[in-house]
Amino acid sequence: MIPPNKSMFAFLLMVQSFLPLNSESTSLDSTWVPSFKWQSQIAAKTVKTVEDYYLLLPSSIMDCENIAKGLPTIEERKKEIRISDVKNGYLAFFNASQVAVFKNRAEKLDVIAIQSGQSGAGNTCGAVNSVFTFDIAKKTWIKRDDLLPKGYTHVELYQKLSDRDILPYFDLPQKGTEIKIKDENNDSTISILKWNGQCFLLKK
């Protein structure tokens, strides 16, 4: 594994820059707009399962080096699923990537957490550790850093912890409402973020 350093952090910042801005931004990142025709029908659904959200992941997540052309069919994408727990809103794919759905019932809003690439260290594609909503009208993913505690975005955590040889990533729950922030080096838990129905709070 490549040790954490400033150049790796700079790379992570570059990766994050390709993600959509927060929900109040009017600009959209085309790399996070589903690109295949079959995704349009799923995108238009008013009620989506965790598997629907997985199928709507952009090619930049599913195939960042474009070796498999973004896994362009439903069948190809479903082959990568390791665990699909629709009832609990959890899905695991590839070796260690995850999607989990958190419900904001008051606003009838799904908040989707995505973890791919773990910390991103030693990974040419970097990593995604964040929460999103999906805009049905614009058919795009919207990054929602505003739903995380201050200082707990992945970039902020990496900047704070990498000099201590700690490689943070989000471990998403198959059951429950807690995201564990873990160190990829030894899988120990650093912090826990708990969903309160509207946002994530740091668990004391």
Domain ranges (residues) in the chain: 6-202
The continuous run of DSSP H or E covering 39 comes out as: helix 37-43
Angle among Cα 126, 181, 125 to the nearest 5 degrees reads 5
pTM: 0.87
- Predicted confidence at residue 82, as pLDDT, reads 98
Which residue in 149, 151, 155, 131 sits closest to 141, CA to CA?
131
All residues at 6 or more sequence positions from 15 whose CB lies less than 8 Å from its CB, including other chains: 120, 125, 126, 127, 128
Tokens of 57: 């992941």
Whether the CB-CB separation of 173 and 162 falls below 8 Å is answered with no
pLDDT, block means (10 residues), the chain with 204 residues: 44 43 42 89 97 95 88 96 98 97 98 96 90 94 97 96 95 98 97 98 95
Tell me the helix, strand and coil percentages in the chain, rounded to 5. Answer: 25, 30, 45
- Predicted confidence at residue 195, as pLDDT, reads 98
- Predicted confidence at residue 103, as pLDDT, reads 98
- Predicted confidence at residue 29, as pLDDT, reads 53
Amino acid making up residue 45: K
